[in-house]
Amino acid sequence: MTGGTIASEIRDNIIYNCGEKDIVDYWQESNSNEEITFEKIKPYSILSENIEIENWNMLLDELRKDYDDYNGIIITHGSDTLSYTSAMVSIFCKDFSVPVVLTGSNKVLSDNTGNGVPNFHKAVGIITRGKTGVWTVFDEVYSSDSIQEANCFNDRFEAGRCFLKAPSFDKNIVLKNNVLMIKAFPFADYSIINIDHTIKAVLLIGYHSGTANERAVDILLNKCRKRNIPLYLQGQAREAGVYSSAHDMVNSGIKIFSDVTPEYAYAYLMFINS
């Protein structure tokens, strides 16, 4: 349990991360005949928009434990950064012998119109069926390596793709906040961005066609070259036509992430640079 709306309650129309009853309590009330036992662990409890690299490392400390005697692991999480933690966990837990499921809620649990309890029920079902892998449940069931951030208008996540094999890493890895992620947008001026000595890689989230403003990217690439930092561009689908702008970027030395979500590309770079 890491907090989020699924661990919150409403007071004076404000959502606070301090629910008195947790999701297991709610689930057991409606599934009292189920012979399932839970061990509850709370490494931290925050609204997920406030997540820090220390929180991810605390979660990794829990995931490093021996789970051979368990049927599976459920991670409850706030929805704002659920897709990012899902990508990270999909890499770390890629070889786990038990299912790992991340889930959350769109409303506080005391609001019976929310999806928190149904989401948790689906997560339990994945584990009882022994469906190994890393999954994220939020109305639908997504592969955690390909879920993308929720749409702010309908609160729904989107399924992407992941054709990038998870990197190799030491299980005792301590993740570092040393990857700079930048979004492409019209009239971007990357000359104002400071890339200091702590940055090990820069990830540019391109437009859907795998492109970005060439003038702006040239400025960014020169900044990266001065510090000998690799620049990656995410956004291109393999079956799409390659635009001349993207083609020129490849020829200039920019590394391309094709058919992966921004979240997975970001987590991937953190693992190979920590």
Q: Tell me which range, 30-39, 165-174, 232-241, 243-252, is most confidently predicted by mean pLDDT.
A: 165-174
Q: What is the mean pLDDT of the chain?
A: 92
**pLDDT score for 52:** 97
pLDDT per residue as tens digits for the range 151-199:
999 989 999 999 999 999 999 999 999 999 999 999 999 999 999 999 9
Query: Measured between alpha carbons, how far is 214 from 256 in angstroms, rounded to an integer?
Result: 15
User: How far from the centroid of its chain's Cα atoms is residue 28's Cα?
Assistant: 28
Choice between 240 and 180, residue whose per-residue pLDDT is larger: 180
**pLDDT score for 4:** 95
Q: Is the pLDDT of residue 54 over 90?
A: yes
Write the class of the CATH domain 5-159: alpha beta
Q: With CA atoms as reference, report the closest residue to 217 among 240, 194, 250.
A: 250
Q: With CA atoms as reference, report the closest residue to 141 among 127, 240, 187, 237.
A: 127
Domain residue spans of the chain: 5-159, 179-272
Q: Is the pLDDT of residue 240 over 60?
A: no
Q: Is the pLDDT of residue 238 over 70?
A: no
**pLDDT score for 84:** 98
pLDDT per residue as tens digits for the range 81-133:
999 999 999 999 999 999 999 999 999 999 999 999 999 999 999 999 999 99
Percent of the chain with pLDDT over 70: 96
Q: Is the pLDDT of residue 33 over 80?
A: no
Burial class (CB in 10 A: 0-12, 13-18, 19+), 105: buried
Q: How far apart are the first and last CA of the chain?
A: 25
Choice between 33 and 189, residue whose per-residue pLDDT is larger: 189
Choice between 268 and 245, residue whose per-residue pLDDT is larger: 268
Q: What is the mean pLDDT of residues 126-141?
A: 96
User: How far from the centroid of its chain's Cα atoms is residue 155's Cα?
Assistant: 16
Instruction: Place 258 in a pLDDT band, splitting at 50, 70 and 90.
Output: confident
Longest dimension (CA), the chain: 64
Q: With CA atoms as reference, report the closest residue to 145 among 103, 92, 99, 181.
A: 92
Q: What share of the chain is helix, strand, coil (3-state, %, to 5)?
A: 30, 20, 50
Query: Measured between alpha carbons, how far is 154 from 112 in angstroms, rounded to an integer?
Result: 18
200: tokens are: 């090990």
Q: With CA atoms as reference, report the closest residue to 216 among 257, 174, 177, 254.
A: 254
Which residues 6+ apart lie within 8 Å of 77 measured at CB? 2, 3, 4, 6, 48, 85, 102, 103, 104
Other beta carbons within 10 Å of 196: 7
Q: Is the pLDDT of residue 249 over 60?
A: yes
Query: Measured between alpha carbons, how far is 170 from 164 in angstroms, rounded to an integer?
Result: 19
